[in-house]
């Protein structure tokens, strides 16, 4: 596995792309009230604030502009082979069509639909993304939505995802890091409570340990056993809590209550030239090792749970293995 101590399938990465703002509906509302100039001011402040974190980890700054999506996908495909990863999921990538086209040549790279669930015909768009484009899940940035994620108007989207048997990954908590978005009706994962219970056959995954709402995510997972936690990212939000939890603390909290079966590894890798963030993997692997998890439990966290949610099997990734059934690609 080229230096990796365990089989790894990265459930959470972003294919770099040029264009639209991450802030979505929130940004549009802000600009209508306060003006586009102020929105751009905060976007610049937000981008500048990320540099401190990149320096702290010794990461190279992103190329400006980022390469085209097909080049980024080819880069990650090479990294998967070089590092010995089983595969990666890109939860965003410049639109469903763009992401699917970029990933199509690469059998170990998978993509999620990521259109606005409030757009007209969003449920039909999701069906098309899975059946025609071969995408294998659905990603939503809850704080960026134009309405409540609990709005019954979204029920057709949930019904479609449940019928298709795909997981839905929903970001809650602060969006875009320091100087980003930190408030709103969709900031707390408990807003998903009734939806999660209303669609018990649908697997919801909440990334970044709930992104600052650890207690609330624990409550949600306690109330709905179809909700999972994803470990991805720098988890910078920890610095704004007291006492500050360690990565080990977070793994321990979810493991002691729910076991290994509902914890899913990811890195939140994105821009180039940084590429796959091995440092985040090492940090998480060290934390789970220090907790004394058994090898089979570690395998569930770092690959098995993700493969199960995506209906993939480890042997599909070996030489001569077939990924048939993982979407029409």
Distances (CA, A) of 285 to 138, 162, 230, 248, 278: 26, 32, 14, 10, 10
Looking at the chain, the number of H-run helices and the number of E-run strands are 12, 8
pLDDT score recorded for residue 316: 79
Q: Quick one: CA dihedral 173, 176, 181, 184, positive or negative?
A: negative
pLDDT score recorded for residue 329: 43
Break the chain down into helix, strand, coil percent, rounded to 5: 50, 10, 40
Q: What's this model's pTM, rounded to 2 decimal places?
A: 0.95
Give me the mean pLDDT over the 275-296 stretch.
Answer: 97
Per the structure, the count of domains in the chain is 1
Identify whether 37 is part of a domain: yes
> How many percent of the chain have pLDDT more than 70?
95
Residue 3 scores a pLDDT above 80: no
175 vs 179: CA distance, rounded Å: 9
Identify whether 72 is part of a domain: yes
Identify whether 329 is part of a domain: no
pLDDT score recorded for residue 317: 77
Identify whether 130 is part of a domain: yes
Residue 325 scores a pLDDT above 90: no
pLDDT score recorded for residue 19: 66
Q: Tokens for 56, please give them.
A: 């702290």
Question: In terms of Cα–Cα distance, which of 217, 235, 244 is closest to 283?
Answer: 235
Identify whether 99 is part of a domain: yes
Question: In terms of Cα–Cα distance, which of 214, 215, 212 is closest to 234?
Answer: 212
Give me the mean pLDDT over the 170-189 stretch.
Answer: 95
Identify whether 204 is part of a domain: no
pLDDT score recorded for residue 314: 79
Identify whether 212 is part of a domain: no
Backbone angles phi, psi at 11, to 5 degrees: -85, -10
pLDDT score recorded for residue 283: 97
pLDDT tier at 150 (50, 70, 90 boundaries)? very high
92 vs 112: CA distance, rounded Å: 7
Identify whether 171 is part of a domain: no
Whether a cis peptide bond, with omega within 30° of 0, leads into 243 is yes
pLDDT digits 0-9 by tens, 72-115:
999 999 999 999 999 999 999 999 999 999 999 999 999 999 99
Q: Which range marks the domain in which residue 288 is found?
A: 9-137+227-317
Q: Where are the alpha helices (DSSP H) in 173-232?
A: 193-198, 214-223
């Amino acid at each position: 596995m080229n230096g990796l101590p365990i089989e790894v399938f990265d459930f959470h990465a972003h294919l770099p792309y040029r264009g639209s703002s991450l802030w979505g509906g929130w940004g549009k509302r802000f600009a209508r009230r306060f003006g586009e100039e102020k929105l751009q001011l905060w976007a610049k402040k937000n981008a500048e604030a990320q540099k401190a974190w990149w320096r702290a980890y010794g990461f190279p700054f992103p190329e400006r502009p980022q390469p085209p999506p097909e080049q980024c996908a080819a880069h990650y495909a090479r990294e998967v082979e070089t590092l010995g990863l089983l595969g990666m999921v890109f939860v965003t990538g410049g639109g469903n069509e763009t992401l699917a086209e970029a990933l199509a040549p690469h059998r170990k790279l998978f993509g999620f639909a990521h259109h606005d669930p409030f757009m007209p015909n969003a449920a039909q768009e999701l069906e098309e993304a899975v059946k025609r484009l071969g995408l294998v899940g659905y990603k939503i940035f809850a704080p960026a939505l134009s309405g409540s994620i609990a709005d019954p108007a979204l029920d057709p989207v949930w019904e479609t995802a449940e019928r298709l048997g795909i997981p839905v990954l929903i970001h809650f908590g602060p969006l875009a890091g320091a100087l980003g978005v930190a408030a709103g009706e969709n900031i707390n994962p408990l807003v998903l409570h009734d939806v999660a219970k209303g669609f018990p056959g649908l697997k919801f995954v909440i990334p970044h340990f709930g992104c600052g709402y650890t207690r609330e995510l624990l409550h949600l997972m306690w109330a709905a056993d179809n909700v999972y936690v994803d470990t991805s990212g720098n988890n910078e939000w920890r610095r704004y809590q007291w006492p500050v939890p360690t990565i080990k603390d977070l793994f321990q909290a979810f493991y002691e209550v729910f076991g290994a079966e509902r914890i899913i590894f990811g890195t939140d890798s994105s821009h180039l030239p940084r590429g796959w963030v091995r440092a985040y993997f090492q940090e998480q692997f060290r934390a789970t090792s220090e907790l004394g998890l058994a090898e089979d439990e570690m395998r569930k966290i770092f690959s098995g749970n993700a493969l199960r949610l995506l209906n993939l099997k480890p042997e599909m990734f070996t030489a001569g293995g077939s990924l048939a059934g993982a979407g029409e690609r």
